[in-house]
Chains A and B, each alone.
Chain A
Amino acid sequence: MNDWLARLSQLPQQWFESPIAAIALTLGAYFFGIRLFKLMRRPIWCPPMLIAAIVIAAVVASLPIGIDDYNRGASWLMLLLGPATVALAVPLYQQLPQIRALWKPILMTLPLSATLAACYAVIIAAIMGAPKDVLASLAPKSVTSPIALGLAEELGGSRALLMGALLTTGITAIFGVEWLSRILRIRDPRLIGLALGINGHALGTVRAFELGTVAGAFASLGMSLTGAFTAIVLPLVWHFFY
């Protein structure tokens, strides 16, 4: 009997020796998050990703395993970030006619918006005395995660902090766009979509597709262009200052 209990207590560690358990936990928490999100009538401040992340953290904390065991397994899932980034070429190519028709106003506004999205946060954090590695983790906060991860690594930021920043930024951007566009009486779906994509990366784009296809198309345009622009400019500017 004791022998059996000993074997039982070793099970969690043995599960997490292979990546299967971590991947299953991630997918399970994801679908649980979506289910709970719908049951809670889609609260804007608590997206499914936040629920799922808290569930995973709770499970990992309650089992006799460390966060490193989970990360090692989940990194297999993260391998898909590379191909998923390349896959963004599809919405980008689909938006090419729109980009050509509107290239002038987009060219005037998007680089400035993308720059401001990074600058406001970095300047506020710098004024409040945040050290360099925190600034490096906050700078790519409005960029879609595969690009942002590469950027934070390049600038020497913390991966965990950046991911938290991405989530916070996404939630705030969705709330901000809906609140401010109501105040400013902006109803143009192209504009709302662009603002969601530029400021709220993938989370904003998912939200824009819920509002309609025009908003969604422009959000993926805003997300792709912000990502490409920031990926080129941010390392150059950063290495100029540091």
Chain B
Amino acid sequence: MSVLRGFLWLLAFLLLGQTFVRLFHIPMPSGVIGMLLLTLWFGYRGRMNPDVVHVSQPLIAMLALLIMPGVVEIFFVADQFADQWAAILTALIVGTLLSVLSSLLLMRRYLPENDEAANPLGSVDHE
């Protein structure tokens, strides 16, 4: 029952998010607003509702699965973008490699050095 109660919480905040989106003309998906509202609610209560934590783990693990049905369609509409494939693939692959490089460099420049406790991987390198 805990899972269903948690699911009801998620649906309630999804509807609340949709309400906000409609009322205030927010240019964002209702799920995102619901997510932010639920985070604020947790912060206000000072703790997380255990039912929601319970249901969130399998749902978040499903995110990768939920990408899939959409991906299938690309094989059937591929010829619609037939003359665009070079541009699309270059943009995606080169663009992503460039953005990975710049975020790694940016973060290395500005993130403070780790103290030992927060860095289990790094501790391997010390003699």
Contact = CB atoms under 8 A, between A and B. Distances in A.
A196 B25 CA distance: 32
B111 A80 contact: no
Contacts, number: 327
Contacts of A56: 68-69, 72
B41 to A, nearest CB: 8
Contact of A190 (B38, B74, B114): B114
Interface residues of A, number: 110
Contacts of B98: 116, 120
A77 interface: yes
B51 to A, nearest CB: 11
B24 interface: no
A113 B111 CA distance: 13
B1 to A, nearest CB: 17
Interface size class of B (residues with CB under 8 A): 35 or more
A124 B64 contact: no
Nearest to B112: A105
Interface majority SS (helix, strand, loop, mixed), chain B = helix
The DSSP consensus for interface residues of chain A is helix
B35 A163 contact: no
A128 interface: yes
B52 to A, nearest CB: 7
Interface of B: 7, 10-11, 13-14, 17, 27-32, 34-36, 38-39, 42-43, 48, 52-53, 55-57, 59-60, 62-77, 80-81, 84, 86-108, 110-112, 114, 118-122, 125
4 A-B pairs closest in CB distance = A150-B29, A85-B31, A163-B70, A121-B95
30 contacts: A26-B69, A49-B71, A52-B68, A56-B69, A60-B72, A77-B66, A77-B69, A78-B69, A80-B59, A80-B62, A83-B7, A84-B59, A85-B29, A89-B52, A90-B48, A90-B56, A96-B43, A105-B111, A117-B99, A120-B99, A125-B91, A166-B67, A168-B93, A177-B100, A177-B104, A184-B105, A187-B125, A194-B107, A195-B103, A214-B119
